[in-house]
Chains A and B, each alone.
Chain A
Amino acid sequence: MSDFHRSTLIQLAAGLRARRFSSVELVRAFLERIEASQKALNAFISVTREEALEAARAADRALGAGTGGALTGVPIAHKDIFCTQGVRTTCGSRMLDNFISPYDATVVAKLRAAGAVMLGKTNMDEFAMGSSNETSYYGPVRNPWNPQLVPGGSSGGSAAAVAARLVPGATATDTGGSIRQPAALCGITGMKPTYGRVSRYGMIAFASSLDQGGVLTASAADAALLLREMAGFDANDSTSVAREVPDYLATLEQPIAGLKIGLLREFFDQGLERENERCVREALAVYEGLGAQLTEVSLPNLPLSVPVYYVVAPAECSSNLARYDGVRFGHRCENPRDVNDMYRRTRGEGFGAEVKRRIMTGTYVLSAGYYDAYYLKAQRVRALINADFIRAFTSVDVLIGPTTPTPAFAIGAKTADPITMYLNDIYTIGANLAGLPAISVPCGFVQQLPVGLQIVGPHFSEARVLNVAHAFQRATDWHTRVPRGYA
């Protein structure tokens, strides 16, 4: 086995450009790691071996001709929520088990244009609904730090893959914390950008006003590179913002002395496990050492973010998932008696329990007589939470706190009661409701399990958030730790 997995994404890109090694070598090496780990981790749903090697060969030709881009030849993985042309795209669901996408998501096309080589599609909670990657039709993903434990979700596959160094970087999506929470539980870096920063075209929709595409990598620097290539205005997405993408790498090294950090009172609540809190406070001390100023701030409506989310997200998903009806693509039940029978059995069979639960919740909160009390009410509270954030950012530059209340938990431990599972996202959901950029970086261990530190910035402050994360990673080495067996 080679050593490529010990290099960062940036180092690999540079090495390819300097022709120290070829993309084909890289791709072969990582494919070997993927195949070797698949039984233990189940991080991938599809491995696109032949396509990857072909793309690697093309990348090598481009590198030889000097026509390479920022990521030419670099292997990555895509969460199986991104449509990939000619390649199976399942969204972790039986409903799309046979779906070969006829088109590329904009994110996929952009990264392909930058020269990245896709090794496969990663496992995920079904239709991105979950915080543990236990709802996937393709079986749970296991945490590389401890295979009895969950990697987090919904981007569990991408997170496990990066944590185990099966790929140097992977795309993912975050609707309520689905990038940041698995990053925290897997000891890696995960970033969700501002809403509208990354195109949603081709990113299978869960909750349209909350979904954002982002990255999982081993470091903030790697995240900066990948995000820079993914982000940007897309005419195919009406919610895409026409705003130039700065070079996130260029501002990584800016000193952070004088940075005003807000500590959210509401994030340090009873739900936060003592040891997790210890890691986070030690991280904050590092920031003070680097010259940052800590202030306590309060977002009084923030504790309501989980109930808001569990009205708004199911409402939007109940409508977004109505297109899965067995008519034009995807699963259809056998021998339907009539159209209604076709719908009911197709959807009953095609969707798993959590998806059905959220569709029904959403249907209920939108239905006549309940719309005002639930959906409209939730969107009003959302406005208050958003206003809280905006007010906080008038006095601080970033907000820092824990990403999750606990470290990784056992597979099956929280599946009995949906609310227990939902509360995993208690610190992450706020950033989705307000559409703010947020990153999670590793900041310590509790009983040999990673703990994540979350940094949230104002709208379109990705450069600053990455800079603040990078500063921490220059002063510490938590992000360099790799689970045993994968180092």
Chain B
Amino acid sequence: MSGWETVIGLEIHAQLATKSKIFSGSATAYGAPPNSQANLIDLGYPGVLPVLNGEAVRMAVKLGLAIEARIAAHSVFARKNYFYPDLPKGYQISQYELPVVAHGALAIVLEDGSTKRIGITRAHLEEDAGKSLHEGLPGVTGIDLNRAGTPLLEIVSEPDLRSAKEAVAYMKKVHTLVRYLEICDGNMQEGSFRCDANVSVRHPGEHRFGTRTEIKNLNSFRFLERAINFEIARQIDVLEGGGKVVQETRLYDPDKGETRSMRSKEEANDYRYFPDPDLLPIELDQAFIDSVRATLPELPDQKAARFASQYGLSAYDAGVLTGSRELAAYYEEVVRAAPADAKLAANWVMGELAAALNRENLEIGTGRLPAARLAGLLARICDQTISGKIAKEVFEAMWSQGMSADQVIEAKGLRQITDSVAIERAIEAVMAKNPGQLAEYRAGKDKLFGFFVGQVMKATGGKANPAQLNELLRRKLGG
């Protein structure tokens, strides 16, 4: 990649979590039978007219405030005209020259721990189109308009991203933010959160941007990263081979791991935008904006900063734990119940708990292991009832059988052995059983210390208090 700089801008479409559609009273729930949530307005019947859902506006303003953008006092809906079977009116109601939100920014954390400010050019409201179904229908395409009219917030970044990793960090940050704000459920499998990436390359130091291509409909962080990297390499190949990059729309094929050119939706991309005469301009006064501001939760960055200082966590750990409001709330509940060691709690939430949730594809919100329960386990580590290692075993049992820490410790007799006499006796037994290693150790082979630790642990079923074991073993081995 030497000799080339990548320039990336992302356009994210977040489906707003309103109950009804942006311009009609149809439901927005996912997964309904085809066309059962498409009324006359959604179907673009003759004579119908749009009426704006106030909640969609509030959600857009919420995002605008969270990214410190300018909220337009006056914004306008415009028609984007093109023909496609899943676009019932033959135009999409969107916003063009006067979007509701403009000039914001988000900070992302790069791999080296530094932060970078990514500009957000604008965020505007628009309606989603329906869905085209091709499978299982020979010779025809089936159109389902349930999705037509669902409110979308299109969030457009400045071309400030310089690598696929930065793009992923930004996409993740936006994903976290919209879920924090409760304006979007972020469900990428269901299509609530989609991303288009504009990618181009140029020589470092060049002011002008190279020709860019647009990769559409990336609905996972992994696909975003791979698609961008493939595209960068492809463009460099083309340019180094003396060719020119064609400005076009491309799709990512996850099976092949490549992007390919999309057959164009219309011959010419002339959308003929003009203000929609069926809708009046949105006028937002300070009182409206203030009332939305009052509903803002503690934002991810604010929460992460507070966690770092309040709980003594690293910026990285604070960032992970504030990845979602649910996770952050869980963590804080654990710490409240087991305040002795916030860092320990952090390690366990990010470690064992996260791993267990991932294995079974669960969200933190499913309540599989209540915070108070986990706190109970941590308390037993802190008060030395069990060692950290044994705690892992206890955790597995708690997770799979739904028991409390105390129940498991009791049932399996996992209490840590802190009786020095008992430990000494175990040590003596091991020493007696392994005279050869004992002699070698005393002769200077220090490495064998670990061997003895292991043997004593084995003999005690792992329950010997490690610190005591260490001290006593050293004394006894020392002779």
Q: Do A and B touch each other in the complex, judged by CB within 8 A? A: yes
A residues sitting closer than 8 Å to B (CB atoms) are 82-83, 89, 91, 96, 99, 101-103, 105, 200-205, 207-209, 235-239, 315-316, 318-319, 321-323, 325, 327-329, 339, 343, 363, 366-368, 371, 375
Look across to chain B and name the residue whose beta carbon is closest to the beta carbon of A315. Answer: B274
Known: A239-B280, A328-B88. A319 touches B274 (CB 8 A): yes
Chain B residue at minimum C-beta to C-beta distance from A200: B49
Given contacts A204-B47, A205-B46, 7 further A-B pairs with CB under 8 A are A82-B47, A102-B45, A103-B40, A205-B47, A236-B51, A319-B81, A371-B274
From the candidates B48, B51, B83, name the one contacting A322 in the complex (CB within 8 A): B83
Say yes or no: A203 contacts B81, CB within 8 Å.
no
Asked whether A239 and B51 contact (CB < 8 A) given A91-B46, A319-B91, A328-B43, the answer is: no
The one of A208, A318, A366 in contact with B277, judged by C-beta atoms closer than 8 angstroms, is A208
B439 within 8 Å of A (CB atoms): no
Residues of B with C-beta under 8 A to A235: 51
Interface size of B in residues (CB-CB distance below 8 Å): 29
List, in ascending order, chain B residues with CB within 8 A of A371's CB: 272-274
Closest 7 CB pairs of A and B: A322-B90, A208-B277, A366-B272, A209-B277, A323-B44, A202-B47, A204-B46
| Chain B residues within 8 Å of A102, by CB | 40, 45
Write out the residue numbers on chain A whose beta carbons fall within 8 Å of the beta carbon of B273. 371
Q: Which residues of A contact B272 (CB under 8 A)?
A: 318-319, 363, 366-368, 371
B89 touches A201 (CB 8 A): no
B270 beta carbon closer than 8 Å to chain A: yes
Taken together as a complex, chains A and B put the C-alpha atoms of A366 and B78 apart, in Å, by: 12
CB closest residue in chain A, given B267: A340
Min C-beta distance of B439 to chain A, whole Å: 87
Least CB distance, A174 to chain B, in whole angstroms: 16
Which residue of A has the minimal Cβ distance to B43? A328
Given the complex, which residues of B lie within 8 Å of A327, measured CB to CB?
A: 85, 88, 143
Cα of A347 to Cα of B323 in the assembled complex, Å: 52
Taking CB atoms, residues of chain A closer than 8 Å to B40 are: 102-103
**B110 interface contact, C-beta 8 A:** no
Residues of B within 8 A of A375 (CB): 274
Nearest Cβ on chain B to A300's Cβ, whole angstroms: 26
Residues of B bordering A, CB below 8 Å = 40, 43-52, 79, 81, 83, 85, 88-91, 141, 143, 270, 272-274, 277-280
Q: A103-B40, A327-B143, A366-B81 are in contact. Are A238 and B47 (CB under 8 A)?
A: no
Which A residue sits closest to B84, measured CB to CB? A339
Chain B residues, Cβ within 8 Å of A209? 277
> CA of A366 to CA of B91 in the docked complex: distance in angstroms?
13
How far, in whole Å, are A292 and B49 apart by their CA atoms in the complex?
42
Q: What are 9 contact pairs spanning A and B, CB under 8 A?
A: A83-B47, A103-B40, A200-B47, A235-B51, A237-B49, A238-B49, A325-B85, A367-B270, A368-B272
Question: Which residues of A sit under 8 angstroms from B50, Cβ to Cβ?
Answer: 238
- In the bound complex, CA of A329 to CA of B43 (Å): 10
Known: A103-B40, A322-B90, A371-B274. A236 touches B81 (CB 8 A): no
Determine whether the beta carbon of A322 is less than 8 Å from that of B89.
yes
With contact pairs A319-B79, A319-B81, A363-B272 given, residues A201 and B48 touching in the complex (Cβ less than 8 Å): yes
Shortest C-beta distance, B42 to chain A (Å), equals 10
Shortest Cβ distance from A109 into chain B, in angstroms?
12
Q: Given A83-B47, A238-B50, A319-B91, check contact A325 B274 (CB 8 Å).
A: no
Chain A residues with CB below 8 A from B88, complex form: 323, 327-328
In the bound complex, residues from chain B placing their C-beta under 8 Å from that of A208 are: 277-278
Please measure, in the bound complex, the distance between the C-alpha atom of A172 and the C-alpha atom of B280, giving whole angstroms.
25
Q: Which of B51, B83, B89, B141 contacts A238 (CB 8 A)?
A: B51
Give the most central of B46, B51, B91: most A CB within 10 Å: B46
In the bound complex, residues from chain B placing their C-beta under 8 Å from that of A91 are 46
CB-CB < 8 A to B79: which residues of A? Answer: 319
Q: Are A325 and B83 in contact (CB under 8 A)?
A: yes
When the two chains form the complex, which single residue of A101, A239, A318 contacts B278, counting CB atoms closer than 8 Å? A239
A367 CA / B267 CA spacing, docked (Å): 14
Assuming the A-B contacts A103-B40, A327-B88, A367-B272, are A322 and B81 also in contact, with contact meaning beta carbons closer than 8 angstroms in the complex? yes
The answer on a CB contact under 8 Å between B90 and A366 is no
Task: A392 to B273: give the CA distance in the assembly, Å.
Answer: 34
Question: How many angstroms from the CA of A207 to the CA of B88 in the assembled complex?
Answer: 18
A371 to B46, CA, bound (A): 26
Residues of B within 8 A of A363 (CB): 272
Inside 8 A of B89's CB, which chain A residues have their CB? 322-323
The answer to whether B46 touches A323, judged by C-beta atoms less than 8 angstroms apart, is: yes
A-chain residues with CB within 8 Å of residue B44 when the two chains form the complex: 323, 328
Q: Decide if A96 touches B46 in the complex (CB within 8 Å).
A: yes
- With both chains docked as a complex, state the minimum distance between the C-beta of A480 and any C-beta of chain B, in angstroms: 35
